[in-house]
Amino acid sequence: MRLDKDVAVPMRDGATLRANVFRPEAPGRYPVLMTFGPYGKDVHLSQFMPEAWEALKRRHPEILAASSCKYLVFETMDPEVWVPHGYVVVKVDSRGAGKSPGFLDPNSPAEFRDFYDAIGWAGTQSWSSGKVGLLGISYYAAGQWMIAALRPPHLAAILPWQGASDFYRDRARQGGIFGSGFVRRWWPRSVLRNQHGNPESPFKDIDSGERNTGPEAFSSEELRKNRVDYPANILAHPLDDAWYRERSPDFSRIEVPALVVANWGGLGLHLRGTIQGYLRIASREKWLKVQSGSYFLTFLLPESVALQRRFFDRYLKGIDNGWEREPKVEASIRTLDDRVKRDAASTGWPLAGTQWRTFFLSNGKLDHAAPDKPEKIPYDALGEGLAFRMNLSKDTELAGPVKATLWVSSDTADMDLFATLRAYAPDGAEAAFFSAVEPRAPVSQGWLRVSQRKLDPVFSKDYFPYHAHDERRPLRPGEAAKVEVEIWPMSVALPAGSRLELLIQGRDFERSGFFLHDDPQDRPPEVFGGMNHIHLGGDTPSSLLLPVIS
């Protein structure tokens, strides 16, 4: 394998970005796999995310057996497992990050234009076949939707592995509520530490051992002036306005072949948008896999790399390898101990044969019928909330979207709803699942700012409420309002004797994770710390819609 390091990639405005090009020793023209982002093309996984590196070594010796992992960088492909199979791997530091000078503006139209130019450059190099594919996780997956919608020449296929597609609903404001915990952790830890010219960066170049942020050493004020204020921009845009729309794709323009891989562990960040991206793109040749476990480690497993390679061999190399016979949709069904019971294949999403079952909230229970008499149950918005439970008399498998239809009121003009779906084994032990933001996640969660309950009739379905988030409709204190809460997709196999619980709160469901919605500017306590109510029965029946597949 040959490495061309810090290669100059020209941009349309005269700027130069830096890329690493890994290619076969033998001369020739090869298909290209690309990544483009701010985390550092030369920052080894062991530096960027030490806990992920230790988990890889501890749990997956098969990954270490397939590669030396010398050039293993967070959320991007390992060139050692691609170049020997006749691919060129190109990794680009985005503008203002790592070795690429300039103004740091992640997830922006400016960054997308740069990515477009980089694809055009890669498609015309002497070592390129002219076909470019995109492969990466999280940040390096989410950007693929935007770039594919821009239709750059030479882009031939995409493989977003766990990548949100809706900047407002997935990444910034779940249900309209600012996801402050993630944003305020991600921005300094994942982005600012690698800002170009940052003299305090702890990251070292894999090869040289020098500081990864280039030779410049800017002052704190110079660094601040050379970047956007990402958290402040999100706070300044509480509704889904033009600022978000120019950071979310026009799905109708995406027509290249796509293998889309979601993970149940992306609850609260990537899961929803990865599945929605698959559903909404116009590509005729598209596939969806929904996996379990660590999205990063599963990406690197030999069997996953083989799956990725079959897809790209078909669409970048033109090899007739039978890829088209792959199931259009395949979803892992999780057990209560966070294993996989089986993989359910389908022709579409939701899974074929899904039976939608409605259960009504009733005095701490989930019942088949709504209460005859109306009831209004209070709860402190900042307290423990209200739980509604049902016992299962027979084995049941659930997989797909979930919806809670609630009648609610508050003594203030607004309220936030945090809906959590929990499961308990027959012995009473709660099921907990690994996720990217919480080591002991519940079955699923949903969020909604009630003043933003307006539905978009074009995208909403009976089982999937899609909120417009383009206006606010304040509550009248004490008056009940009907809301539909999108609870993110999930899967779980429940044995007879299990218990399922819907927990409704006015604050985050917390264990030990950092994925919180607690910014005081976004959630002033005088508005979101009042006394809330759920209305049951009569003319205000609150309910839970579940996807039963077995």
Per-residue pLDDT of 131-174, as tens digits, reads: 999 999 999 999 999 999 999 999 999 999 999 999 999 999 99
Q: Token digits for 408?
A: 């609610």
Is the predicted pLDDT of residue 439 greater than 80, yes or no? Answer: no
Q: How far apart are CA 91 and CA 114, in angstroms?
A: 13
Query: Is this prediction's pTM over 0.95?
Result: yes
Q: How far apart are CA 79 and CA 20, in angstroms?
A: 10
Q: What is the pLDDT of residue 313?
A: 98
458: number of Cβ within 10 Å: 7
Residues 502-515 have a mean pLDDT of: 88
Polymer length of the chain: 550
Q: What is the pLDDT of residue 512?
A: 62
Q: Dihedral through CA 362, CA 367, CA 372, CA 377, nearest 10?
A: 10
**Which one of 3.40.50.1820, 3.40.1260.10, 3.40.50.970, 1.10.230.10 gives the CATH number of domain 2-326?**
3.40.50.1820
Q: What is the pLDDT of residue 342?
A: 97
Residues 52-60 have a mean pLDDT of: 94
Q: What is the pLDDT of residue 478?
A: 84
Q: How far apart are CA 425 and CA 221, in angstroms?
A: 54
Helix axes 139-150, 109-122, angle to 10 degrees: 80
Secondary structure (H, E, C), 304-328: HHHHHHHHHHHHCCCCCCCHHHCCC
Residues 511-537 have a mean pLDDT of: 93
| CATH class assigned to 355-548 | mainly beta
Q: Sketch the domain layout of the chain as residue ranges.
A: 2-326, 355-548
| Beta carbons of 21 and 124 less than 8 angstroms apart | no
Is the predicted pLDDT of residue 437 greater than 80, yes or no? Answer: no
* Angle 315-320-321 from CA coordinates, rounded to 5°: 95
Beta bridge partners of 405: 484, 543
Q: What is the pLDDT of residue 510?
A: 83
| Beta carbons of 17 and 92 less than 8 angstroms apart | yes
Is the predicted pLDDT of residue 511 greater than 80, yes or no? Answer: no
Is the predicted pLDDT of residue 200 greater than 80, yes or no? Answer: yes
**Amino acid present at 541:** P
Q: What is the pLDDT of residue 59?
A: 93
Residues 390-415 have a mean pLDDT of: 97
Is the predicted pLDDT of residue 438 greater than 80, yes or no? Answer: no
Asked if residue 24 has a cis previous peptide bond (ω within 30° of 0), the answer is no
pLDDT band for position 267 (50/70/90)? confident
DSSP state of 172: I
